[in-house]
Amino acid sequence: MEEVDPSNFASETSFFIEVEEVLQLISSLSLDENSTNLLVGDSALARLRVVFDKYLECPSLLDPHLEKIVTLLSSNAVRIAHEFYNIRMDDISNVVMIRFDEKETQKLRNLKRILSAIYSISKVRGRKHVQKFLTHDVSDVEPILHALRILENLPEENEIDAECKNWESIYIILVWIGMLSLVPFDLNTIDSSIEHTRGITSEDGNHPTLISSMIMTTRKHLADSGPTREAASYSLSSLLSRPDLEQLELEDFVLFSNSVLKDYLVSEGMLGSLHSATSIFLVMGVVQTLAAIFKTGSRSNLIYRHLKYVEQIWEQAILVADKASAKQEAGQLCNAGGALLLRKLLAKLFARVGCSYLPPRVAKWRYQRGRRSLLENLSSSETVHNSSSKSYPSVQHEQGGEKGDTLDLFAVPDQVEDSMAQLIKSLTDPATTVRWSAAKGIGRVTERLPAVCADDVLDAILDLCTDYENDSAWHGACLSLAELSRRGLLLPERLKEVVPIVIRAIQYDVPRGQHSVGAHVRDAACYTCWAFARAYDPCVLEPFIPALSRGIIIASIFDREINCRRAASAAFQECVGRQGADKFKHGISILTAADYFTLGNRNDAYTSVAHYVAGFEEYRQPIIRHLYEDKLFHWDKDIRYLTSISLGGLVTLDHVFFIETVLPYLIKFCTHDNLFVRHGAVLGVGEVVLAVYMETDSNILIPEHLLAPISQLVFSIEKARLYRGRGGEIMRSATSRLIECIAMSHLPMTTKQQIGLLDSLDVNLRHPNDEIQKAAAKALYAITRSYFPVGENGPSDRLHSRLVQKYINAIRTEDNPACTRGYSLAIGCLPSKLLAPNHSVLDSVLECLFYAAHHSTLVGGQSDAETRRNAIESLSRIIKTVGIGSPSEHIADYPTVPLEFNQVNRIFHALFEALEDYNMDRRGDVGSWSRIAAMLSLEKLVLLATEASEIPHCSRIIPPTGHSNIMPPQVSSLEKRFAALQFGTVNSKMSSNCMDIGNKENPLIFFTEDLCTKTVGALLKQLSEKLDVIRNQAGISLRRILTSDNPHVPFVYGRQNLIDSLSLRKGQDINWANPEYTFPLVMRAIDLDEYFDDILSGIVISVGGLTESVAKSSSKSFLEYLRALKKMKLVGKISKVGHGIIRLFDMHSKDVRVILPLLVTVDKVLSHGFFDDILHSDENNFADELSKRVRKEASKCTDLKRLTVIVAVALNLLHSNKVDTKTTICIFLMKLLAHRFPRVRSHTAEQLYVKLIEDASVIPHPVDLNAAQKLLSETAWDRDLGAPHHIRLKRNTVSEYLGITLSEKDLQENVKAKASTKAKDDFASYASLVHSL
């Protein structure tokens, strides 16, 4: 049996699916020298970039093929570099302009593409992973360095490839030189460049060696502002870290670095100096190189051999850091650009220099957890305890051994103390990257210090976690604590000080104006908890587990930020897995409920997840206390609202605690001076009161001593005038919610208190804020149903006038839009006992809402969209509240009347009128709000009216023989339905049921065939229009009406055709807002005669609209429909479309909203020739009718857009076969040539000239077409009509050339101006004033 290579089943190899394509593209990068297609290599490189960029999020997938790809690319690059090196171009560094022949130019292109390809891989996978696969033969050193010189001295006109950037090539070669500098030979032994670099001299006048050339070349790039600086730093540090270069070259570089830092400090003192702006990049390059040298170089050489120079650099680096800190404290922009990166590099340098002064060994005193087993952690508590007891004494032994071990006690150099001081200062830096770098540096330095010194470091870190420090200090401290614990440097005996600070950091949140800071601190604190779980034995953390678990769980559920909730969940998961499931009670169950996805939704976290976790007794009280003591007073009002909802849901778990503790606590804060506190307290009281009465047993009530303050709470807030000033609006919403909760809880209230609450709601209803009005309306809905009882004769006159009549009068007479909006919304929230005690009251309510909902109604002399929308929503609620045919809220204690047929019919027509609301204001199409509300109301009304009607609902009608494909599956009219039932064309069982209902003497009918047709047609019209939100709602409502089974809506004309055309099958979701999907479906239903005009009136608005996506999709669908009709020669249907457009002109004459898109639609159809059959027909009068409408729309029109489209439509009408129509249009065009607007004259002349060139036969009786064309093209038609340009006379000449006879009125040049009716003011000028003096 053959052995199977396991590497063939590696999962990584199957994910880099483009590997074969990449290898082919690499071969295309290098073109032949004689190749003429220069774009092949560029396209190959562009494709490589696209392929590699796909793996930016998971670059490790490239690893199985990375060596092969990089080796192939680097070998090709080395080959080209050797070819250039063999040319031996003399004095290459001093040549200003390098000239290449064609072959060399092609080679240079190939080299740059290859290097750019390597850079694209390095960008994705990282420099460190790519550089190790670059070729590093000894023979490659000089050719690669030579190639770098060529690229450095490449002139700008030789930037021949836009795809491959020169800096990318330089970056890769610098990285390559860094790898080549590690060759295990003395560089002097491979130096052969002296004889070929005669023009290059060093400072002492000698020819540079290979070493000096490499150092000078790389050092030059330390001042670059881009990624090449990083590559140069790496390359230079690799060179200077070689044993054969540390003696001389390192010392020179240290002196150079010292001078650079000194110059920078001097230049920083000169404000506005150009040198200061440019030298910062060189400083960053030097500091980055020094940090790399201290990381890879020999410690003995750096500290002992070059101690004097290192101390100089150290002093300069501290001064630079102090300068940056001073700028930070002064509030300057220290986070911008290079300053931030410089501080990060300085933090790295401080850490590495500090480590260099310490022994290179890990301290023996550090805590080591020892062997860890996840299986043991998840096993029984006894097993875990036994394993823990075995490991913990080793910790004590190590600590005891450290006390008697004198080898760990040594003198710490002062430089280490300075280094640690700078690192701790960097922990408070405003930049996260600087703090993170400093935290890692502190960990590295601390693990080499004695235990006593490490203890001092911990004390310094803990000093940052005070109320006097800012969020940056807390964040840096948390990161440092995590690093110390991960490295075992935070000993167990210090945990009692550290854990409380970390728990405080988990809840760190400091308000700052309209936002807060602290999310990054909480995230870092969760990371610290995660590090604790991994670092310590379960017996070490056991005393702190209850506090840690409560803090982590609370943060995972209730933190405002999603990343913090998920970070806390990850920390809790680590704790359960590492410390043992028995330590963290119910850990597995909680992790199952509070996972990554459920915590992603904040609403679910506050409601469902919180309720589940609070079900465990260990976490119930901490969660409840955190909610009502902390989160309920959060600065974010959304958090306060969610907290109140969460508190209400937790009442069932411990209602006694809520009644005895939570409610008294919150009541005393309801009038607090702090807005956040009082707002949260009011919300919390309302939700808790409601939950107590709704979720507990009826015998559990709120004590009497709490009922009085709760009942008086709203009045106390008003007495304290807490509605005024900042935050008054959200307090109004909160009190409205409190009133709603009190009413739903049926708390005992006196009549005076009831009236007072009602007065408060009326004030809120008149508030201009929409949210306040909605909250007040909800509260009104609850309070009018819980209180204000009525007798057998209905509501009293006082109650009727206080509510119903007051709202009706306000809606009809108020000039304040806020009043009409609020009362229009409120009247629909009243109960049936007030709305419908008799038909007279119900009629007055409906008439008031009909008036308010009509699109022509004005409020204070202006149109108000919110009033109309609210009135329509109230109509919808009244339909449900009052009921149709029988009372919906019927209670035996008082009488109510339902809606009658006439009332239902009037509601239908009011909603149809609302669907014609296209009012506009500065906010756009605000009429769409009314149309959306009307569609929702129509849907509800149709279903309720159908359900209330005694109509036989037959699910299947058997069609006559031979007509199965013609008749719809339902009979459309009521008379035909009864006839079909009598003739037995339906299923016998269904027939008997239907006949039983139909034989009633007076069947209740609230929904007729005419109403059904109008409803479906109106929805189809909205489905064809241009607004996405309108189409979406129309599609949803139409689908529910057509596919409803309970009740089944009758009388739908062509139901099955509509369902098939619009794909309204159940279970199929349709995005009606997508125009590309919706309009083709709509055009499939246009052949249904009953809905033809509705669909046509909607589609023309979309075709001629301004929204590009809608106009494009609708035009495509409409024109394809007409193209199909023309191809099938269905002239009758084309004529039907044309005359439908004529009817639209008549219905919307002078209506800008419709006429402009209608004209655009007609122009598109005429331009495509789809109306040619009816234009050329002598029997069809479409051309004459359209000509009349176009001329009518042009009369007295001042809209340039409409006039421009009218010209286009008129020119298309010249293709009519009727001479009279052509003559009429020609006269009309001649009038436009003398229009009062110059742009109209110019546009008409231009378009007429183009039309005459295209087809001269459009003019019935031309005299001299060439002369007319010449005059049209040479005349400046935008000049004055009269003298001195006489444009009207030239127009008359054009009409003579075209054989067009104009009337005497049109031929007159002098037009009398209208006499001015304004009297001359004798004091209108300054001259008259002087003359009078």
| pLDDT score for 392 | 41
Residue with token string 């955190």: 626
| pLDDT score for 1067 | 61
Q: How many angstroms separate the CA atoms of 971 and 893, rounded?
A: 44
Query: Residue 855: how many CB atoms within 10 A of its CB?
Result: 17
Query: Which structure tokens are listed for 489?
Result: 């440097």
> How does residue 1319 score in pLDDT terms, banded at 50, 70 and 90?
very low
Q: How many angstroms separate the CA atoms of 236 and 177, rounded?
A: 9
> How does residue 324 score in pLDDT terms, banded at 50, 70 and 90?
low
Run of H or E including 142: helix 141-152
| pLDDT score for 259 | 86
- The SS3 call for residue 790 is coil
Q: What is the pLDDT of residues 1081-1103, one digit of tens each?
A: 999 999 899 999 999 999 999 99
Q: What is the pLDDT of residues 1260-1273, one digit of tens each?
A: 888 888 999 999 99
The string of DSSP letters for 283-302 reads HHHHHHHHHHHHHHS-HHII
| pLDDT score for 368 | 82
Average pLDDT, the chain: 83
CA nearest 666: which of 647, 681, 649?
681
Residues 732 and 767 sit within 8 Å (Cβ to Cβ)? yes
* Whether the predicted pLDDT of 337 surpasses 50: no
Q: What is the pLDDT of residues 546-596, one digit of tens each?
A: 999 999 999 999 999 999 999 999 999 999 998 888 888 899 999 999 999
| pLDDT score for 1091 | 94
Q: What is the largest CA-CA distance in the chain?
A: 126
* Whether the predicted pLDDT of 982 surpasses 80: no
Query: Which structure tokens are listed for 497?
Result: 């000080």
* Whether the predicted pLDDT of 505 surpasses 50: yes
Comparison of pLDDT for 305 and 1200, the residue scoring more: 1200
Q: What is the pLDDT of residues 644-691, one digit of tens each?
A: 999 999 999 998 999 999 999 999 999 999 999 999 999 999 999 999
| pLDDT score for 457 | 94
Comparison of pLDDT for 375 and 1024, the residue scoring more: 1024
Q: Say if residue 969 is preceded by a cis peptide, omega within 30 of 0.
A: no
Comparison of pLDDT for 633 and 989, the residue scoring more: 633
212, with CB counted inside 10 A (0-12, 13-18, 19+), is middle
> How does residue 33 score in pLDDT terms, banded at 50, 70 and 90?
low
* CA-based radius of gyration for the chain: 43
| pLDDT score for 379 | 54
CA nearest 528: which of 470, 485, 573?
485
Kindly report the three-state secondary structure assignment for every residue of 1202-1234.
Answer: HHHHHHHHHHHHCCCCCHHHHHHHHHHHHHHHC
Residue with token string 């409020």: 859
Distance of CA 90 to the CA centre of its chain: 59
Q: How many angstroms separate the CA atoms of 415 and 438, rounded?
A: 16
| pLDDT score for 991 | 33
Query: Residue 956: how many CB atoms within 10 A of its CB?
Result: 9
- Helices 274-296 and 228-240 cross at an angle (nearest 10°) of 40
Q: What is the pLDDT of residues 1099-1119, one digit of tens each?
A: 999 999 888 999 999 999 999
Query: Which structure tokens are listed for 232?
Result: 């140069």
Kindly report the three-state secondary structure assignment for every residue of 943-985.
Answer: HHHHHHCCCCCCCCECCCCCCCCCCCCCCCCHHHHHHHHHCCC
| pLDDT score for 962 | 41
Pairing of strands 858-859, 862-863: antiparallel
Query: Residue 817: how many CB atoms within 10 A of its CB?
Result: 17
196, with CB counted inside 10 A (0-12, 13-18, 19+), is middle
| pLDDT score for 413 | 84
> What is the DSSP-derived secondary structure letter of residue 413?
P
Average pLDDT of the segment spanning 358-366: 83
497, with CB counted inside 10 A (0-12, 13-18, 19+), is exposed
| pLDDT score for 401 | 43
| pLDDT score for 1217 | 85
Comparison of pLDDT for 890 and 1250, the residue scoring more: 1250
Average pLDDT of the segment spanning 285-296: 88
Measured on CA atoms in the order 527, 533, 534, 536, is the torsion positive or negative? positive
Q: How many angstroms separate the CA atoms of 322 and 316, rounded?
A: 10
Comparison of pLDDT for 870 and 182, the residue scoring more: 870
Distance of CA 513 to the CA centre of its chain: 24
Mean pLDDT lowest among 644-648, 865-869, 974-978: 974-978
* Whether the predicted pLDDT of 1276 surpasses 50: yes
Length of the chain: 1333
Mean pLDDT lowest among 350-359, 644-653, 696-705, 736-745: 696-705
Distance of CA 1171 to the CA centre of its chain: 45
Query: Between the CA of residue 902 and those of 552, 843, 889, 899, 939, what are the distances in Å?
Result: 64, 10, 21, 8, 19
Q: What is the pLDDT of residues 1034-1057, one digit of tens each?
A: 999 999 999 988 889 999 999 999
| pLDDT score for 415 | 85
* Whether the predicted pLDDT of 956 surpasses 50: no
Q: What is the pLDDT of residues 1290-1303, one digit of tens each?
A: 888 989 999 888 88
Kindly report the three-state secondary structure assignment for every residue of 524-589.
Answer: HHHHHHHHHHHHCCHHHHHHHHHHHHHHHHHHHHHCCCHHHHHHHHHHHHHHHHHHCCCCCCCHHH
CA nearest 619: which of 579, 643, 589, 574?
589
> How does residue 996 score in pLDDT terms, banded at 50, 70 and 90?
very low
CA nearest 954: which of 978, 932, 933, 931?
978
CA nearest 496: which of 458, 451, 550?
458
Mean pLDDT lowest among 1-5, 28-32, 61-65: 1-5
Residues 707 and 721 sit within 8 Å (Cβ to Cβ)? no
Q: How many angstroms separate the CA atoms of 1190 and 766, rounded?
A: 48
Percent of the chain scored above 70 by pLDDT? 83
Average pLDDT of the segment spanning 1319-1332: 46
| pLDDT score for 1025 | 92
> How does residue 978 score in pLDDT terms, banded at 50, 70 and 90?
very low
| pLDDT score for 32 | 59
CA nearest 180: which of 213, 227, 223?
213
> How does residue 15 score in pLDDT terms, banded at 50, 70 and 90?
confident
Mean pLDDT lowest among 51-60, 81-90, 933-942, 944-953: 81-90
| pLDDT score for 29 | 81
Query: Which structure tokens are listed for 70?
Result: 């990089």
| pLDDT score for 88 | 54
Q: What is the pLDDT of residues 137-180, one digit of tens each?
A: 888 888 898 888 888 887 654 444 556 788 899 999 999 999 98
* Whether the predicted pLDDT of 364 surpasses 70: yes
Q: Which are the contacts of 241, defined by CB distance < 8 A and separation ≥ 6?
A: 293, 296, 297, 298
> How does residue 1005 score in pLDDT terms, banded at 50, 70 and 90?
confident
* Whether the predicted pLDDT of 405 surpasses 70: no
| pLDDT score for 890 | 52
Run of H or E including 651: none
Q: Please count the CA atoms within 13 angstroms of the CA of 1021 that sit on its side-chain side.
A: 18
Residues 686 and 782 sit within 8 Å (Cβ to Cβ)? no
| pLDDT score for 1135 | 93
Rounded to a whole number of angstroms, the distance between the first and last alpha carbons of the chain is 126
Query: Which structure tokens are listed for 707?
Result: 């009922």
| pLDDT score for 726 | 80
Q: How many angstroms separate the CA atoms of 232 and 220, rounded?
A: 8
| pLDDT score for 184 | 82
| pLDDT score for 889 | 58
| pLDDT score for 589 | 92
Comparison of pLDDT for 334 and 327, the residue scoring more: 327
Q: Please count the CA atoms within 13 angstroms of the CA of 270 that sit on its side-chain side.
A: 10
| pLDDT score for 691 | 92
> How does residue 231 score in pLDDT terms, banded at 50, 70 and 90?
very high
